[in-house]
Structure 1
Amino acid sequence: MTSTHPDTPALHADAVRTLTDWRPAEQEQDQLRRDYLAHLDEQPEGLYRACLPAHITASAAVVDPAAGRVLLTLHPKVGMWLQMGGHCEPGDPTLAAAALREAVEESGIPDLTLLTADGVPVPAKLDRHQVRCTGKDRPENTHLDVQYIALAPAGAQALISEESLDLRWFDYDHLPELTDHSVRDLVARARQLTG
């Protein structure tokens, strides 16, 4: 397949490196990691929305550890409270940069930083889910989401974007009902990893 995005080789190589280097302890997460790597091996364009029936996406739970809170967006298409995130774009130099870009755009907080290990941003978890990102009258496709933790400065003020119906901070122990197990698990991991 010919690459239609000039930055695809660099972003693709970064995604492969990120998923190769990241070694989760849980067997289910490691299986997802291997599935994502197989997808990237088969799909040179596997990081972009046009790659169907599945593509890699990047997201981040925006947390304010000092206040013990997480910022969630009420997604207009899904109708649930989710972490910030979305599709990779041709200008994204790395998978982590895509997650950070989405987090900044959707939160309105310009000075977010991703949680790192040895100075390198690392995923917190992976989540595979079905969506209709190509339109409600189109078949579902699969998001292979790579999820990070974005640290907000203490007391950060969020600013809602047009991509959201609502945007709110929630205490770790009082997440809204309209969240799924994946969001709850990501928030629990963020809480654990940020102490």
Structure 2
Amino acid sequence: MISRSPSVTDVLASHRPADGRERADVARLRALLASAADPWDRSLPLHLTASAVIVDPVGGRVLLRWHRRHGSWLLVGGHGDPGESDPLGVALREGREETGLEDLAPWPAARPAHVVVVPVPAAGDEPAHEHADLRFVLATGAPDTVRPERPGAELRWLAPEEAVRLAAEENVRETLSRLDGGPFSRT
């Protein structure tokens, strides 16, 4: 039997938005899915992306990446490559490419932790646009093997509360705050 990758619609079917803002973003994503032949198409003013909070469960840390274009610490992730349609697969591929961590796996489950529409400012020939970002939590058992994909793409392991303080983007802080009461809660 051939197994198929879950579609974005499949992934959203089990996602429960945390608040009204996330419900509105999920509604925009569903409208995109209903209207676009390829919702991953980067030429659309709103298109899909997938990203991840990478965690070190043993050390209780999260990984942030410096993004020079945005001038801030963000999650790893990005655009789907041609032919990709599984958001978790995109998050895993991007996570491996950006960190060198080959053992990444969904944690504690293979479902989005956050769905958010993020504004992206114009840069060069690229106009301002928005990302409908599906965010997952991925874990590594080999945090010391982390390596940036290129110079200037610094990676930093942080305690979750430090990561929340360091992240300038409110939407990133929201994603990170969802770890509270979850896998890193202190009992």
TM-score tier, shorter chain, comes to 0.7 to 0.9
- CA shift, 1:31, in A, is 2.2
Change over 3 Å in CA distance of 1:159–1:26 after alignment to 2: same
Residue 181 (structure 1) shift: 1.7
8 Å Cα contact 1:71-1:167 kept in structure 2: yes
Q: How far is 1:35 from its partner?
A: 1.4
70, 76, 79: which one pairs with 1:87?
79
Query: Which 5+ residue runs of structure 1 have no aligned equivalent?
Result: 1-9
Picking from 76, 97, 112, the partner of 1:105 is: 97
TM-score norm. by structure 2 comes to: 0.85
**Cα drift, residue 164 of structure 1:** 4.9
Could you say if the C-alpha distance between residues 188 and 157 of structure 1 is closer, same or farther in structure 2, counting changes exceeding 3 Å?
A: farther
- Matched position secondary structure for 1:31: helix
Tell me, yes or no, if the aligned pair for 1:62 and 1:152 is still in contact at 8 Å.
yes
Task: Indicate if the aligned counterparts of 2:26 and 2:116 stay in contact, CA closer than 8 A.
Answer: no
Look up the match of 1:27: 20
- What is the CA distance between 1:93 and its match in structure 2? 5.0
* CA-atom RMSD in angstroms: 2.2
1:44 aligns with 2:33: no
TM-score, structure 1 length as denominator? 0.82
CA distance in 2 between partners of 1:146 and 1:155 (Å): 23
Change (3 A) 1:173 1:15: same
For residues 87-141 of structure 1, the C-alpha deviation after alignment (integer angstroms, 9 at most, x for no partner) is 0112435111001111111111100101254xxx1000012111147x4344200
- Matched residue, 1:136: 124
CA contact (8 A) 1:65 1:154 kept: no
**Alignment partner, residue 67 of structure 2:** 75
Structure 1 residue 33: deviation in Å?
Answer: 1.2
Q: Deviations over 1:36-91 (max 9, x none)?
A: 011110111111213x2110100001011221211111012111100101001124
Letter in 2 for 1:92: E
Secondary structure at 1:190 match in 2: coil
Runs of at least 5 residues in structure 2 that lack an aligned partner in the other structure: none
Equivalent pair of 1:130/1:142 in contact (CA under 8 Å):
yes
Contact 1:132 1:139 in 2 (8 A): yes
Q: How does 1:131-170 map to 2 (within 5 A)?
A: 131-132=120-121, 135-153=123-141, 155-162=143-150, 164-170=152-158
Q: Would you say how many aligned residue pairs link Structure 1 and Structure 2? A: 180
**Cα separation, 2, equivalents of 1:179 and 1:157:** 26
